[in-house]
Amino acid sequence: MKGNAQRSKLAILLWSATPERPQLCATPFVHAAAAAAFDCEVEIHFAGPAVRLLVAGVADSLLPWPEVDTSIYHMMRQAANLDVSFRACAMAMNALVNKDEALIPEYTGTVAASAFVARALDPEWTTLVF
């Protein structure tokens, strides 16, 4: 990146924000939606157990905190409605999601782990890890 050029692409890696830890799941989707609202191209890469959030019904039943009525899935939909793409690690999907499980409609496909690494190495992209 040269001079004052502004980055306009954001890749977010989810690996510790999992269904077992819903209190960690809200922030990545809020940040993704905020970046997309600034006309940033945004990808969320789901790795490890985080891929379970892509299974229909899983995130819909999760609340980040007891006092919050908004589900994690609602936050995911808000981000997706702003054109945030949801990509999953192919290895994690094969290991942790059964072939007969339905996925949420916002899911945009599987990628290799190298896809996120490529984003991290590309000077046009900023990366966040949750």
- The pLDDT value recorded for residue 5 is 56
- The pLDDT value recorded for residue 16 is 96
Q: Which two tokens stand for residue 19?
A: 């269904």
- The pLDDT value recorded for residue 2 is 47
Q: Which two tokens stand for residue 123?
A: 């000077």
Q: Say if 3 falls within a structural domain.
A: no
Q: Say if 2 falls within a structural domain.
A: no
**Which residues form the domain of 114?**
9-129
- The pLDDT value recorded for residue 3 is 46
3-class SS letters over the chain: CCCCCCCCEEEEEECCCCCCCHHHCHHHHHHHHHHHHCCCEEEEEECHHHHHHHECCCHHHCCCCCCCCCCHHHHHHHHHHCCCEEEEEHHHHHHHCCCCCCECCCEEEEECHHHHHHHHHCCCEEEEEC
Q: What whole-number distance in Å separates Cα of residue 130 and Cα of residue 128?
A: 7
- The pLDDT value recorded for residue 66 is 87
Q: Are strands 9-14 and 125-129 parallel, antiparallel or unpaired?
A: parallel
Q: Say if 4 falls within a structural domain.
A: no
Q: Say if 72 falls within a structural domain.
A: yes
Per-residue pLDDT of the chain (130 residues; tens, 9 = 90+): 444 456 799 999 999 999 999 999 999 999 999 999 999 999 999 999 999 999 999 999 999 998 899 999 999 999 999 999 999 999 999 999 999 999 999 999 999 999 999 999 999 999 999 9
Task: Write the CATH number for 51.
Answer: 3.40.1260.10
Enter the pTM of the model.
0.92
Q: How many domains does the chain have?
A: 1
- The pLDDT value recorded for residue 44 is 98
